[in-house]
Chain A
Amino acid sequence: MIIGSRPLKFQVMVDHDQCMLCGRCVENCSYGVYRMEDGKIRVNSRNCVACHRCLSQCPRDAIMIAERPCDYRNHPVWTDQVRENIFKQAESGKILLGGMGNTGDYPIIFDRLVLDACQVTNPSIDPLREPMELRTFIGKKPRQLELKYGPGNDVELKTKLVKNLQLETPIMIGHMSYGAISLNAQMAMAKAVSESGTFMGTGEGGLHEALYPYQNHMIVQVASGRFGVDVNYLDRGAAIEIKIGQGAKPGIGGHLPGEKVCADVSCTRMIPEGSDAISPAPHHDIYSIEDLKQLVRGLKEATEWKKPVFVKIAAVHNVAAIAAGIARSGADAVVVDGFRGGTGAAPAVFRDHVGIPIEAAIAAVDTKLRQQGIRNEVSIIASGGIRQSADLTKAICLGADAVYIGTAALVAMGCRVCGTCYRNLCTWGIATQRPDLVARLNPDEAAVNVSNLIHAWTLELAELMGAAGINSIESLRGNRDRLRGYMLDETMLDVLDVNAVGA
């Protein structure tokens, strides 16, 4: 007990005048904060993770949660977080683990980019009354068309087009595996993407049978653990994604704790119940770029060259060159996951310190592919920290074809970003496999929420495009002229190839 107790992270306060003793907080909290004692609700604040489930269910607004009501002595270098991390590591001697994305205090580039609108010299377009095309095709496109002209109006298309995924809006949901999240959460998102005319990823946890009805809107993932991968799985997906890395933890593998490996998860992953599901850091059949090409081809052979194959990488320093290599591997799209990408659990030191922001990564990749004349070889899917339609719009201006959202979709289902996904206690029934908790998430209702979110962002994207006088997404893509940097330094502006405000 050298270090002793630290200040409370969250303090839970119950207004006993308001409280009607319904007990919903006791029932809903899976972290053991509440108990009913002597005709009163009692709390153990130290257990609280601020998931707000109790708040959301309290009929009388009787609960208040305060974050860190007792400060450490203020110090700009030795912050609360730094001191607490040292305490924990001094006590345990272990690597710090955390859920959700990057908590580092980095400026968000998206928030320093502003969009354009028309005034006088061209009319803004009203997307409500005139056509606004958001249809997006993900996959390889020819660099040039070969048309053979015959007599009269006769024309023959000589170029063969390969299969692309057709999205009605450039918003997809990224890969969150069954195991990391519940089947109900996956079901809800699958229904939502099917209804919205877009796609979602399975993650590396296989494809549960219950999702088969939505398989035409699902991208099946092949990651280093190869969990759930068989030819049935590959055949069912609309596309296949090879996951090399992830923005939340570039360079390391994954680790689904045994607590979350229930009977069903063990079945889709084909590992024993209760054992950890461990994904290696690299694919052990990919030690170099030419090996990636082998895996791309291996997957294409297995599926008779009918499925687009994506390759997902974490945005690291050399992301542009790596993406150019991927473009040459035969892959149809490259997914670039920025350092704000979410995760169920990642070592905090990776989550907060490895990788680069998605904004710079998109710009670098798009520029590099153009310089090499291979931009049509692959689509660019951007992910990692897409929080709102403005981020989506800016990502497309920088050069992305579409985005993956992850955390935003979970938040649409109730997630409060408490960051404790790895404990299997998610009170919202999202990041848990505990049947009583999973049952809290009604897939049909949650599907409506997710689909509403996609719909609302799509409307906002259309409005932003219309205001910029653009009626088709192709004309927004890579249109960095319609962005300006606000309080970004010159080097950053160069990387983004964006002018400063006023310029």
Chain B
Amino acid sequence: MPAVEIDAQGMHYTPLNRQIREAVTNGATEIVLKNIMGQRFIGDGLTGTATITVEGVPGGDLGMFMKGPTIIVHGNADHAPGNTMDEGLIVIYGSSGDATAHSMRGGKVYVRDDIGYRGGIHMKQYVNKKPVLVVGGEAHAFLGEYMAGGLIILLRLNQNTNMPFAEMGLASGIHGGEIFVRGTVEDWTLGIGSAAREATPEDLASIKPYISEFCEQFGFDPAVIMASSFTRIAPVSARPFANKYTWE
């Protein structure tokens, strides 16, 4: 079946999603959305394995609750792409807004450039469902805040590796999962309940498949990236706040 093309010029997101669902129901595996301008919820709750290519600037909550499909964005995404996503892949050839990969429970989000504040906030994992967020550029404060599971990799490719990561609240309240930052991080960036150390060869081996896949998407050289040192940030405890309360 040839790729289905939808011209979204001036279209509201509800009819747009309806058309996407129809195409998927009809067996489309490739869907191209033209002239996207700020439409929210693209692929919201969509299941299956179709690949949706977005041309333009999608609105917030791209791929929200999505279970399976792939979304490729040629442009920047707005807030919270991958919000509570379950399975599938989102690839953004650009940057994305605040709360990228919010509460993600499975699947992968790859952002070529930067993400906003609170990236990967409260990502979680269960048995073999482990969400992955890989960011090529920079992230702002509260990256991996509240994180209960999953994996975040921050590559900082536009940054001289001598410049340590310097945004507050990194992994603040983390109680599961792990974050890898290329290069080093300033001590003061670490939020409550997190601890950092240099990544070991075993650690690097564990993230290598994602970095390779990321590089394949965007045309970077994985060998160069893997040659850098990484910092691994992980929880000190699975119950960071257990000590805070006393009974009345």
Cβ-neighbour of A131 out of B146, B168, B240 (below 8 A): B168
B168 A129 Cβ-Cβ under 8 A = no
B12-32 CB mask vs A (1 if < 8 Å, else 0) is 000000000000000000000
B244 A129 Cβ-Cβ under 8 A = no
Q: How far is the CB of A133 from chain B (nearest CB, A)?
A: 13
In the complex, whether A128 has a CB less than 8 A from a CB of chain B is yes
A130 B172 Cβ-Cβ under 8 A = yes
Chain B neighbourhood of A126, CB < 8 A: 146, 173
- Interchain CA distance A126-B246 in the complex, whole Å: 19
Chain A neighbourhood of B241, CB < 8 A: 128
B169 A130 Cβ-Cβ under 8 A = yes
Q: Which of A128, A129, A130, A131 has the most CB of B within 10 A?
A: A129
- Interchain CA distance A131-B240 in the complex, whole Å: 16
B 210-248 contacts with A by CB, 8 A: 240-241, 244, 246
A 430-459 contacts with B by CB, 8 A: 456, 459
In the complex, whether B191 has a CB less than 8 A from a CB of chain A is yes
A459 B244 Cβ-Cβ under 8 A = yes
In the complex, whether B192 has a CB less than 8 A from a CB of chain A is yes
In the complex, whether B142 has a CB less than 8 A from a CB of chain A is yes
Q: How far is the CB of B187 from chain A (nearest CB, A)?
A: 16
Chain B neighbourhood of A128, CB < 8 A: 172-173, 192, 240-241, 244
Q: How far is the CB of B161 from chain A (nearest CB, A)?
A: 28
A 118-146 contacts with B by CB, 8 A: 126, 128-131
Q: How far is the CB of A41 from chain B (nearest CB, A)?
A: 33
Q: How far is the CB of A132 from chain B (nearest CB, A)?
A: 11
Chain B neighbourhood of A129, CB < 8 A: 142, 145-146, 169, 172-173, 191-192
- Interchain CA distance A459-B173 in the complex, whole Å: 16
B161-175 CB mask vs A (1 if < 8 Å, else 0) is 000000011001100
Residue of B nearest to A126 (CB): B173
- Interchain CA distance A72-B172 in the complex, whole Å: 61
Chain A neighbourhood of B240, CB < 8 A: 128
- Interchain CA distance A142-B168 in the complex, whole Å: 30
- Interchain CA distance A459-B172 in the complex, whole Å: 17
Chain B neighbourhood of A459, CB < 8 A: 244
Chain B neighbourhood of A131, CB < 8 A: 168-169
Chain A neighbourhood of B172, CB < 8 A: 128-130
Q: How far is the CB of A122 from chain B (nearest CB, A)?
A: 15
Chain B neighbourhood of A130, CB < 8 A: 142, 145, 169, 172
Chain A contact residues: helix, strand, loop or mixed: loop
Q: How far is the CB of B72 from chain A (nearest CB, A)?
A: 31
Number of A-B contacts (CB under 8 A): 24
A394-419 CB mask vs B (1 if < 8 Å, else 0) is 00000000000000000000000000
Chain A neighbourhood of B146, CB < 8 A: 126, 129
A449-472 CB mask vs B (1 if < 8 Å, else 0) is 000000010010000000000000
- Interchain CA distance A202-B145 in the complex, whole Å: 43
Q: How far is the CB of A15 from chain B (nearest CB, A)?
A: 27
Residue of A nearest to B142 (CB): A130
Residue of B nearest to A456 (CB): B246
B146-171 CB mask vs A (1 if < 8 Å, else 0) is 10000000000000000000001100
Q: Which of A128, A131, A456 has the most CB of B within 10 A?
A: A128
Q: How far is the CB of A454 from chain B (nearest CB, A)?
A: 15
- Interchain CA distance A459-B246 in the complex, whole Å: 12
Q: How far is the CB of A461 from chain B (nearest CB, A)?
A: 14
- Interchain CA distance A129-B172 in the complex, whole Å: 5
Q: How far is the CB of A155 from chain B (nearest CB, A)?
A: 24
Q: How far is the CB of B245 from chain A (nearest CB, A)?
A: 9
Q: How far is the CB of A127 from chain B (nearest CB, A)?
A: 10
- Interchain CA distance A126-B172 in the complex, whole Å: 10
Q: How far is the CB of B149 from chain A (nearest CB, A)?
A: 16
Chain A neighbourhood of B192, CB < 8 A: 128-129
Q: How far is the CB of A281 from chain B (nearest CB, A)?
A: 43
Residue of A nearest to B241 (CB): A128
Residue of A nearest to B168 (CB): A131
- Interchain CA distance A41-B205 in the complex, whole Å: 74
Q: How far is the CB of B152 from chain A (nearest CB, A)?
A: 16
Chain A neighbourhood of B145, CB < 8 A: 129-130
- Interchain CA distance A130-B173 in the complex, whole Å: 9
- Interchain CA distance A453-B11 in the complex, whole Å: 59
Q: How far is the CB of A373 from chain B (nearest CB, A)?
A: 36
Residue of A nearest to B171 (CB): A129
Residue of A nearest to B172 (CB): A129
- Interchain CA distance A26-B39 in the complex, whole Å: 80
Q: How far is the CB of A130 from chain B (nearest CB, A)?
A: 6
Chain A neighbourhood of B169, CB < 8 A: 129-131
Q: How far is the CB of A409 from chain B (nearest CB, A)?
A: 19
Q: How far is the CB of A96 from chain B (nearest CB, A)?
A: 36
- Interchain CA distance A131-B117 in the complex, whole Å: 14
- Interchain CA distance A128-B194 in the complex, whole Å: 12
Residue of B nearest to A127 (CB): B192
Chain A neighbourhood of B142, CB < 8 A: 129-130
- Interchain CA distance A300-B217 in the complex, whole Å: 70
- Interchain CA distance A126-B146 in the complex, whole Å: 10
- Interchain CA distance A129-B190 in the complex, whole Å: 10
Chain A neighbourhood of B246, CB < 8 A: 456
- Interchain CA distance A130-B191 in the complex, whole Å: 8
- Interchain CA distance A130-B168 in the complex, whole Å: 9
- Interchain CA distance A200-B139 in the complex, whole Å: 43
Q: How far is the CB of A458 from chain B (nearest CB, A)?
A: 12
- Interchain CA distance A280-B241 in the complex, whole Å: 52
Residue of B nearest to A452 (CB): B246
Residue of A nearest to B244 (CB): A459
- Interchain CA distance A128-B243 in the complex, whole Å: 12
B102-138 CB mask vs A (1 if < 8 Å, else 0) is 0000000000000000000000000000000000000
- Interchain CA distance A131-B244 in the complex, whole Å: 17
17 examples of A-B residue contacts, CB within 8 angstroms: A126-B146, A126-B173, A128-B173, A128-B240, A128-B241, A128-B244, A129-B145, A129-B169, A129-B191, A130-B142, A130-B145, A130-B169, A130-B172, A131-B168, A131-B169, A456-B246, A459-B244
Supply 13 further A-B pairs (C-beta < 8 A) apart from A131-B168, A456-B246: A126-B173, A128-B192, A128-B241, A128-B244, A129-B146, A129-B172, A129-B173, A129-B191, A129-B192, A130-B142, A130-B145, A130-B169, A130-B172
Give the top 3 A-B pairs by smallest Cβ distance, nearest first.
Answer: A129-B173, A129-B172, A129-B145
Binding site for A on B (CB under 8 A): 142, 145-146, 168-169, 172-173, 191-192, 240-241, 244, 246
